[in-house]
Amino acid sequence: MDQIGRSVRREEDRRLTTGRGRYVSDIVEGNMVQLAFVRSSRAHARITGLDFTKAQSMPGVVGIFGPKDMGEAIKPLSFGPPPESAMEPTMPCPLADGVVRHVGEPVAVVVADNRYIAEAAADACEVEYETLPAVADVQEARKNQVLVYPERGTNVAAVVTRKTGDGEAALKRAAHIVQETFTIPRVVGHPMEPRAVVASFDPVTGRLTVEAATQGAHTVKMGLAAVLDLAPEKIRVVVPDVGGGFGVKNRIYSEDAVAAWLAIRLGRPVKWAGDRLEEFLATNQGRDQVHTASLGVDEEGRIVALADHFLQNVGAYTPEPLIVPAQTATCLPGPYRLPNFEATVEVVFTHTPACAPYRGAGQPEATFVMERLLDRAADAVGIGRDEIRRRNLVRPEDMPYENGIIGRDRQPVTFREGDFPGTLETVVEALRVGTSPDDGKLRGTGIIDFMEVSGGVLFEICRLELGRDGVVSLFTGTSSQGQGHRTSWAQIAADRLQVPMDQVRVVEADTDTVPMGLGTFASRSTITAGNAIVQAVAPFLDKCREEVAALWEASPEDVLWEDGFFRLAGVADRAMDLRTLAVSRPLDAPLVEASAQFMDANTSFGMGCHGVRVAVDPETFQISIEDYVICHDAGVRVNPLLAEGQVFGGTVQGLGTAWYEALRFDAQGQPLNTSFMDYLVPGSAEMPDFRLVKRDFPSSSNPEGLKGLGEGGTTAAGAAFASAVEDALRPFGVKITSLPVTPASIFAQVKGGVRP
Amino acid sequence: MKPLPFRYMKPQTLDEALEALGSGEDAKVLAGGQSLVPLLNMHLARPALLIDVNALEGLSTIEPSDAGLRLGTLVRHQTLLTSSEVRRAVPLLAEAAALIGHEAIRARGTVGGSIAHADPAAELPMVAIAKRATIGIRSASGSRRVPAEEFFIGYLMTSLGPDEIVEDVLFPMAPSPSGSAVEEFSERHGDFALVAVAAELSLGEDGRVARAGVAVAGAGPAPAAAREVEAALIGQASPEGVRATAKAVAADIAPEDDLHASASYRKHLAEILAARALERAWQRAKAASEAR
């Protein structure tokens, strides 16, 4: 039976929705201790003294450790296997080594019987600071008046450029040039589950076992091996249930290293389960770009050139320094025919937490800039906002279309399949523009295009193993954080093995089961692991055929594989399925296993379109979403239900950035809104009932035609929402150039403006 | 985000609770815990002693009388929505309670807790001001009643002494015919209001506004009575006339800029919401008048 393409519910659904998940926080081990970190209250300071006297004497405190106690382990963390290493990461030490560079940086660690005691003791630790000047704003930091790393002489960590055709110079040939400054603020990723780790050391085997809420088990393993000077084979990293990652759980953090170091030092299991405040202060954040961009079009609205100079705030530490800014630069042209393009980004250090890949990782920023400019250009030319897109999208007859940029797979960005104008029309037609109630509200629509870049990042391994009970175990290095890999990987394997899904057991993210894995990020897992699974099936079945041949005392060439059965050529009644094979084998027969490694050499591109209709109260500027239509080319949908969940969830997260979210810092680098009272995320009551219209084109970039779709919703929502709200507020002449779009920000613009 | 160590007691009688509260120890009263527990978790409140009053009897009563509707301090917000007595006697309370947080919060949060916590954007302190309610206060040494306007004195500050507890809130009944309404602007469903306005109008024999109570939340350090608006309302006899008085609200409030909104936006919202609340209150009063 075909399993690929079925909307199967996740196997973990019942367990997770009835409180029977097993997250890191749920792990309890005998003799376990818990950690709380003493974190810097200053954005930039020299630590001149640590006094643990009062805290040390509190009942239940096992020990308090500062950087000096950690000795050799106090060195910058290594990222692990960097997907892109055009620039060396600048990483923090497990505990700050003399200087702190953002509020929340770990300074010391308390080990106690439980988290309550640990927090109380951390509160009682005294840190003496020599406060140094700090800078949080990227434009301020660019002035180099306050330096994050004085020895560098500048806050500009790197400059990245992308150019095609005549670049910026071509702008002068345009009939209309629109220019704007756009701001996308700092946002916090906020997985529902904060980061967490449990580390245990077995003195008998000398092995360290780490259970971590991470997107990359091997990434954490390699990172720990480097910082603790351990042989990698002495470390096993296992990932239990994880409640969301969105990119921010895709690295080794200071807390992982400290917990592992303490597990070895104390010989006791050590747990650190971070809380929401720590998620605000000490986990990678995202966005934070300021663009000055110009789009030139001819008399008919056809794009002549796009030029963009932007700043990327990367914070104080840069685990993945260039991924986001490079991806923004690469994605700016979107799905359009764009003959001349030039983008320059300056990557700037500030005294803020690391700003690194977060769902979309540069694509939402690029899409916001490009789509806002297209809206402006349409207005300048005097044509519809949908019409200007129609005139500029890459057409089927242009394909394969190379836009002249080298992508993250180090190949020319090439659109090989799809019907971009057709996708646009589908959404234009689906979006209800019918009559509005006469309720005094202003209404507007936004229709924007986007391109989801997926995969194209190295490889995954899949290993298949036939159990004695006939169950096929599938091992791979990806790491589900809610995507439902155990279900969709089983679907892919079951489809090709022609067995029921429950005959496949998926084991993910356990470093002892596959020699290497990259993990789950960059919308790569379905493509990379999916193809690896398919490619492991053929050698696996070959091994099985040999086993069947041995049982039947036949030649393997005479054993055929049809409809889920091995058959003997020319003998009608000789048939055996996998389960029968497994139970028929002699006890001393060797293990049947096979593996494949799939290298995802080419990124896949999935074009999509979001259409949104909003109503705005012309007095209070309260915004409501009345309709939201999404078309997103997902290639081959392994599980349409889970695919839909990814698209809707991504869109909600994008609406967070569009509508509510911004982490604010004061001039001294103090974050100002570090709780869900003050930092708003989308609530279910405000979210629309999304409507999905499907136009899928299997990817030509990988054998199975798979595409990623985890980030497109986030990529598109900001541009679509801004466009619709601006359209509704035409009577006020409101111009939206920054996110989030809040009623207060609209009021700030229209104050004294003309009301309709 | 775990609270620092504190001593916990759960007294069975009010006297026992008041004695502990008057002992001089740095104590906090725990009722529904919807504000206090987050403050404890974030180490913003660091009491030595927590006095859990949830076991005390006789503090959850709803008593209508000629003097008004008396709500015991432990009446839960959700009860304000479901109680027919509340809806009949002070419909403004039922309408305002629907805007408090989410159901889980309303199921725990208490009338006395909200009044004593005195968040400037909270609904019940605003209704207490609009209704000119009085707060019944007890301590080991006696009891007193304080008008709501004298009770709320600043940002999260009340005239409640460290040894005192809110025992009840008495909401006077509006002379009929009357009508009331609440308008609130919050960024998301269930959030604290950026600004909210509660209004209650009573009409005289001549069909004109004879008595008005208007209060604004979220536009200053404490909920404020809109006295200028109230004065302008007396004698109004049309929806347009009632609406127009909202312009005076700016004189009654003193908002400041913060992360969520500028002072000028809050003023703007106060005016818009006052106009809307007043118009609805007027329509309801008019309907009540015509029904007689």
Q: Is A395 left (phi over 0), alpha (psi -120 to 50) or beta?
A: beta
Which has more pLDDT, B1 or B127? B127
- Subunit contact B268:A747, Cβ cutoff 8 A: yes
Which domains occur in chain B, in start order? 7-52 (3.30.43.10), 62-171 (3.30.465.10), 178-291 (3.30.390.50)
**Bridge-partner residues for B170, per DSSP?**
B70, B134
Domain boundaries, chain A: 13-132+192-244+249-282, 285-456+602-750, 459-599
Q: Which residue of B has its CA nearest to A744?
A: B261
Contact B133, B160 (CB under 8 A): no
- Subunit contact B1:A275, Cβ cutoff 8 A: yes
Distance from CA of A396 to the nearest CA of B (A): 43
Tell me the per-residue pLDDT of B185-240, one tens digit each, with 9 for 90 and over.
999 999 999 999 999 999 999 999 999 999 999 999 999 999 999 999 999 999 99
- Subunit contact A748:B260, Cβ cutoff 8 A: no
Tell me the per-residue pLDDT of A693-734, one tens digit each, with 9 for 90 and over.
999 999 999 999 999 999 999 999 999 999 999 999 999 999
**Interface residue of A619, A660, A674, A684 to substitute, partner B, most B CBs within 10 Å:** A619
Sort out which chain B residues have CB atoms less than 8 A from A116's CB and list them.
2-3, 5
Average pLDDT for A533-558: 95
- Subunit contact B4:A120, Cβ cutoff 8 A: yes
Tell me the per-residue pLDDT of A451-490, one tens digit each, with 9 for 90 and over.
999 999 999 999 999 999 999 999 999 999 999 999 999 9
Q: Which residue of B has its CA nearest to A656?
A: B188
Query: What is the pLDDT confidence band of residue A157, given thresholds at 50, 70 and 90?
Result: very high
Q: What is the ipTM of this complex?
A: 0.95
Checking if the pLDDT of A289 tops 60, the result is yes
Question: From start to end of A457-588, where are the E strands?
Answer: 459-466, 472-476, 504-508, 559-562, 565-568, 571-576
- Subunit contact A120:B272, Cβ cutoff 8 A: no
Cα separation, A17 vs B68, in Å, equals: 46
3-class SS of residue B149: helix
Identify the weakest region by mean pLDDT among A384-393, A561-570, A648-657, B95-104. Answer: A561-570
- Subunit contact B188:A683, Cβ cutoff 8 A: yes
Counted across chains A and B, CB pairs separated by less than 8 A come out at: 62
- Tell me if the domain spanning A285-456+602-750 has CATH number 3.30.365.10: yes
Contact A108, A36 (CB under 8 A): no
Query: Cα–Cα distances in Å, from A698 out to A598, A604, A636, A705?
Result: 18, 9, 5, 4
Contact A505, A429 (CB under 8 A): no
Q: What percent of chain B has pLDDT over 90?
A: 97
Average pLDDT for B23-40: 96
Residue A319, pLDDT score? 82
Query: What is the pLDDT confidence band of residue A361, given thresholds at 50, 70 and 90?
Result: very high
Does residue A599 belong to the interface with chain B, where contact is any CB pair within 8 Å? no
- Subunit contact A744:B4, Cβ cutoff 8 A: no
Contact A235, A221 (CB under 8 A): yes
- Tell me if the domain spanning A13-132+192-244+249-282 has CATH number 3.90.1170.50: yes
**Interface residue of B35, B103, B185 to substitute, partner A, most A CBs within 10 Å:** B185
- Subunit contact A680:B191, Cβ cutoff 8 A: yes
Tell me the per-residue pLDDT of A190-244, one tens digit each, with 9 for 90 and over.
999 999 999 999 999 999 999 999 999 999 999 999 999 999 999 999 999 999 9
Sort out which chain B residues have CB atoms less than 8 A from A276's CB and list them.
1
The first and second tokens of residue A24, run together, are: 């890191």
Sort out which chain B residues have CB atoms less than 8 A from A660's CB and list them.
187-188
Residue A651, pLDDT score? 98
Checking if the pLDDT of A89 tops 90, the result is no
Q: Report chain B's mean pLDDT, rounded to a whole number.
A: 96
Residue A80, pLDDT score? 55
Chain B residues within 8 angstroms (CB to CB) of chain A: 1-5, 38, 42-43, 185, 187-192, 194, 259-262, 264-265, 268-269, 272-273
Comparing A13-132+192-244+249-282 with A459-599, is the CATH topology the same? no
The first and second tokens of residue A495, run together, are: 């489809």
Residue A149, pLDDT score? 96
Q: Which residue of A has its CA nearest to B266?
A: A744
Residue B203, pLDDT score? 97
Q: Report chain A's mean pLDDT, rounded to a whole number.
A: 95
Checking if the pLDDT of B62 tops 50, the result is yes
CB-based contacts of B48: which residues, under 8 Å, 6+ apart? Answer: B6, B7, B25, B26, B27
The first and second tokens of residue B155, run together, are: 């940002």
Q: Is A673 left (phi over 0), alpha (psi -120 to 50) or beta?
A: beta
Cis bond upstream, residue A400 (ω within 30): yes
Does residue A620 belong to the interface with chain B, where contact is any CB pair within 8 Å? yes
Does residue A154 belong to the interface with chain B, where contact is any CB pair within 8 Å? no
Q: What percent of chain A has pLDDT over 70?
A: 98
What pTM was estimated for this model as a whole?
0.96
CATH for A459-599 (3.40.50.1100, 3.40.50.2300, 3.30.365.10, 3.20.20.370) = 3.30.365.10
Checking if the pLDDT of A434 tops 80, the result is no
Identity of residue B179? G
Distance from CA of A404 to the nearest CA of B (A): 43
Checking if the pLDDT of A148 tops 50, the result is yes
Sort out which chain B residues have CB atoms less than 8 A from A675's CB and list them.
42
Checking if the pLDDT of A654 tops 70, the result is yes
Tell me the per-residue pLDDT of A319-355, one tens digit each, with 9 for 90 and over.
877 899 999 999 999 999 999 999 999 999 999 999 9
Q: Which helix (DSSP H) or strand (DSSP E) does residue A217 occupy?
A: helix A217-228
Q: Which helix (DSSP H) or strand (DSSP E) does residue B265 occupy?
A: helix B263-291
Does residue A113 belong to the interface with chain B, where contact is any CB pair within 8 Å? no
**Interface residue of B269, B271, B276, B279 to substitute, partner A, most A CBs within 10 Å:** B269
Checking if the pLDDT of A756 tops 50, the result is no
- Subunit contact B259:A743, Cβ cutoff 8 A: no
Sort out which chain B residues have CB atoms less than 8 A from A682's CB and list them.
188
**Interface residue of A747, A749, A755 to substitute, partner B, most B CBs within 10 Å:** A747
